[in-house]
Structure 1
Amino acid sequence: MSESARIDSPEQAEFRQYCRDWLATNKPGEPPVRLPQSALEIMTEPQLHYLQAWQKSAYDAGLVGCDYPEEVGGGGRKDCQRIANQEMIRAQTPFFPNVIGLGMAAPTVFYHAQEALKQRLLPRLFSGEDIWCQGFSEPGAGSDLASVQTFAERKGDKWVINGHKVWTSLAHFAEWMIILLRTDKSHKYDGLSYFVVPIREALGKGVTVRPLIKITGETGFNEVIFEDLEVDDSYRLDELGKGWQVAMTTLLHERGAGELQTPRSGGMKSKATHEVNAAAVMELARNTPRGAATAADDPLLRDRMMQLAIREKAFEQSQRRSRVQALLDHPMRIPLQNKLLASEIAQGMSELALDIEGAAASLYLADPNAPAGGQWPLAYMNTFGMTIAAGTSEVQRNILGERVLGMPKSK
């Protein structure tokens, strides 16, 4: 029996067994297309459709949106999403494509939208039928999120949006965007309001989506241009001028508050997907020749592998603290630590993998001689996005130091 199973309530234990039984007979087979390493790098419609079908199947079976009320399309359970996630990771299922919708949009809509809007949006979000993206960053407002300038001007019960969002993952497939807008130019924080915007139906009619090609060759990022896009006031979340407070809900969940509604590290061990963890690095070392031995026999590499394995295990145990109410006196404490550690551990794993591969790490993804199909160099480059998204590692450390530990502000 796993450690998680030992602490389940009777209801949770029953649900866990249900998840295991369902996954044993319904886990997808080998995908017909090569999948990206994460949902944020989905580039083609065949990739998207395969993953959407998997998310819809899991949702119909009750493994997605478990902890949300039934009236908004959820499962009406309590603290069961983590169980479904654990079992999907255990079964090595594919990831869900609607990662931004599940992890960021869903909790924000649930806590801040009007009831009718929740009931309209959340079921199709959970099922993956509607893909979501996030409109926060701008060319002049990255880490300083409160400086966004994309402006919404009120005209009766409508708003007219003009501006430019950038680094917008999944915008090329998204039906909806959560977006932070400036509605008052005279106040930095109180001049912000938060909306949901149906960007798919507005393509060519006020919305332009342009791909941004990364150094990896992937096109998951985009820039989104708004030109006189008109949206109804019913798409505003919470009160006018409360956008900063609503954005904090989004960021807390992006950084790991609560239980993310999709497993973070699932993925079938095949050419289609790639896992960044200590076990995968050790397997690579055992299969990489070094003279008459392997990279796993190098004492320096073995020491680095063990250090990262210890950090990984410590991080897994640390995540359990998010369910200890006494440790949640500050809402940013656990999420910020988790986001900071997870991104840097993944980067350390990928960097070590490149050192294990040696000169062969320079081979391109499509090179037949590239170790592990060229997945490790790709993973390493993508981890830099992880240490930037939701606030850079430097920003996370500043917030932890100043707002959690009470240290003086950095200059």
Structure 2
Amino acid sequence: MAEVGQMDTPEQAEFRQSARAWLEDNRPANPIVRLPLTPLEIMTEGQLSYLQAWQKAAYDAGLVGCDYPVEMGGGGKNDCQRIANEEMLAARTPYMPNVIGLGMAAPTVFYHGQEAVKQQLLPRLFSGEDIWCQGFSEPGAGSDLASVQTFAERKGDKWVINGHKVWTSLAHFADWMILLLRTDKSVKHDGLSYFVVPIRSALGKGVTVRPLIKMTGETGFNEVIFEDLEVDDGYRLDELGKGWQVAMTTLLHERGAGDLVTPRSGGMKNKSSHVNNASSLISLAKRTIRSGSTAADDPLLRDRMMQQLVRETGMAASQRRTRVTALQDHPMRLPLQNKLLMSEIAQDTAGIATEVEGAAASLYLADDAAPDGGQWPMAYMNSFGFTIAAGTSEVQKNILGERVLGMAKSK
């Protein structure tokens, strides 16, 4: 069904029916391997192969890249990715492995790349044959993204890149990276440029990828080191020194400005897992016995769970506003607001769940006695990454206050 208040055009209604029919017949079988809670934590070749096969099948069926031009590997449709997302979510399909490619790299390449680069890169990005990662953060440049020091020096029609990126999700499987770097050390923002870089083919030849093992035991994070890597100038997006503006395109989509192929990772829309939404939290509380009664019988806990349900409902209504032009008074308001609230709601929901589980929250995924397969404490530990990624919650609040509400700047 279409969302409340959202009417499909005849073209969209036909697309919705065809998507629904295809999903009924082609939803993939349950994987033999255990999948991580989010695509950012894919750790094994088996997990990746299963998910890539699913993305390729969905792409071939026209459910991925729907709204991009046909000549760039898309479906050439109008506002149909949203519908494909809704139908995949309703069908409880697995998530797409190429989450960074679909959600961040594709719109950035589309808006800023040369035509030849778009036609070369986008079809394999949509199909999932090429996995993408994001090279933004550095050991000395986290929240102050404009301070990145990875440097590219011009050498004819090529650039020689040296530097160090960190917290690079999926770099261990990535074929390509969207890369923000410095081409001029004399100025800050205007000294930045933006490239797309082939990293898989350059492993051991200018690129080194090292895993960063988290407290969860997962290895989705990596650090990436560039040592004299040569890249063609054609892989530079937009003009020299315009990297900050290009990065804003990436960040707006990372914060939720576009229709990322769902189920989304790490948020309450991810219903392909057992956790990360208030309904699943309430179910857990009803099944958890404490002192002769269920956790759901605790009136204080019930109140907190209902607060989460109210926040989720409000969040869903707010997301629908992104499709109404008249309600978008500022281009940053809804993307930043939604990113801020979604990440904090997911964190609070998982936090309450670990309280409900009590001592059982210490059981790991492999323990058969772990409630809901041990995924709630994993979701809670991983939730801190989502309140940091794309700018911390504090950064989001500052931007909303200063640039959207017009409040005095903090410095």
TM-score between both structures, scaled by the size of structure 1: 0.97
Aligned 8 A contact 1:88 1:266 in 2: no
- Shift in alpha-carbon separation, 1:68–1:119, aligned structure 2, 3 A: same
Q: Secondary structure at the match of 1:3?
A: coil
1:299 lines up with 2:299 in the alignment = yes
- RMSD of aligned C-alpha atoms? 1.2
What is the rounded CA distance, in whole Å, between the counterparts of 1:134 and 1:373 in structure 2?
A: 30
What is the rounded CA distance, in whole Å, between the counterparts of 2:360 and 2:20 in structure 1?
A: 39
What is the rounded CA distance, in whole Å, between the counterparts of 1:262 and 1:196 in structure 2?
A: 24
Equivalent in the alignment of 1:187: 187
Equivalent in the alignment of 1:62: 62
What is the rounded CA distance, in whole Å, between the counterparts of 1:323 and 1:267 in structure 2?
A: 23
1:25 lines up with 2:29 in the alignment = no
What is the rounded CA distance, in whole Å, between the counterparts of 2:214 and 2:230 in structure 1?
A: 31
- 1:372 Cα deviation (Å)? 1.5
Equivalent in the alignment of 1:115: 115
1:241 lines up with 2:247 in the alignment = no
1:314 lines up with 2:318 in the alignment = no
- 1:6 Cα deviation (Å)? 5.4
- 1:14 Cα deviation (Å)? 1.2
What is the rounded CA distance, in whole Å, between the counterparts of 1:2 and 1:97 in structure 2?
A: 26
What is the rounded CA distance, in whole Å, between the counterparts of 2:279 and 2:261 in structure 1?
A: 24
Q: Secondary structure at the match of 1:214?
A: coil
Equivalent in the alignment of 2:224: 224
1:76 lines up with 2:76 in the alignment = yes
Aligned 8 A contact 1:19 1:87 in 2: yes
Cα offsets for 1:88-116 (capped at 9, x unmatched): 11111000000000000000000000001
The residue correspondences of 1:9-408 to structure 2 (distance < 5 A) are 9-264=9-264, 265-268=269-272, 273-408=273-408
- 1:19 Cα deviation (Å)? 1.1
- Shift in alpha-carbon separation, 1:249–1:2, aligned structure 2, 3 A: closer
2:57 is matched by which residue type in structure 1? S
TM-score between both structures, scaled by the size of structure 2: 0.97
What is the rounded CA distance, in whole Å, between the counterparts of 1:235 and 1:195 in structure 2?
A: 6
- 1:324 Cα deviation (Å)? 1.3
Aligned 8 A contact 1:311 1:345 in 2: yes
Cα offsets for 1:355-375 (capped at 9, x unmatched): 111121122222222211211
Cα offsets for 1:20-50 (capped at 9, x unmatched): 1111010011111000000000000000000
1:209 is matched by which residue type in structure 2? V
What is the rounded CA distance, in whole Å, between the counterparts of 1:134 and 1:194 in structure 2?
A: 11
Identity within the alignment, % = 78
1:233 is matched by which residue type in structure 2? D
Give aligned pairs, total.
407
- Shift in alpha-carbon separation, 1:5–1:70, aligned structure 2, 3 A: farther
- 1:326 Cα deviation (Å)? 2.0
Q: Secondary structure at the match of 2:189?
A: coil
What is the rounded CA distance, in whole Å, between the counterparts of 1:5 and 1:84 in structure 2?
A: 18
What is the rounded CA distance, in whole Å, between the counterparts of 1:326 and 1:369 in structure 2?
A: 51
- 1:146 Cα deviation (Å)? 0.2
Aligned 8 A contact 2:194 2:236 in 1: yes
Aligned 8 A contact 1:178 1:194 in 2: yes
Q: Secondary structure at the match of 1:201?
A: helix
1:251 is matched by which residue type in structure 2? L
What is the rounded CA distance, in whole Å, between the counterparts of 1:288 and 1:5 in structure 2?
A: 37
What is the rounded CA distance, in whole Å, between the counterparts of 2:131 and 2:332 in structure 1?
A: 27
Aligned 8 A contact 1:157 1:233 in 2: yes
Q: Secondary structure at the match of 2:46?
A: helix
Q: Secondary structure at the match of 1:385?
A: helix
Q: Secondary structure at the match of 1:137?
A: coil
- 1:281 Cα deviation (Å)? 0.4
What is the rounded CA distance, in whole Å, between the counterparts of 1:100 and 1:85 in structure 2?
A: 16
Unaligned ranges ≥5, structure 2? none
What is the rounded CA distance, in whole Å, between the counterparts of 2:146 and 2:192 in structure 1?
A: 8
- 1:2 Cα deviation (Å)? 4.7
Q: Secondary structure at the match of 1:304?
A: helix
Q: Secondary structure at the match of 1:329?
A: coil
Aligned 8 A contact 2:63 2:84 in 1: yes
With 47-56 and 4-13 compared, the bigger mean Cα shift is at: 4-13
Unaligned ranges ≥5, structure 1? none
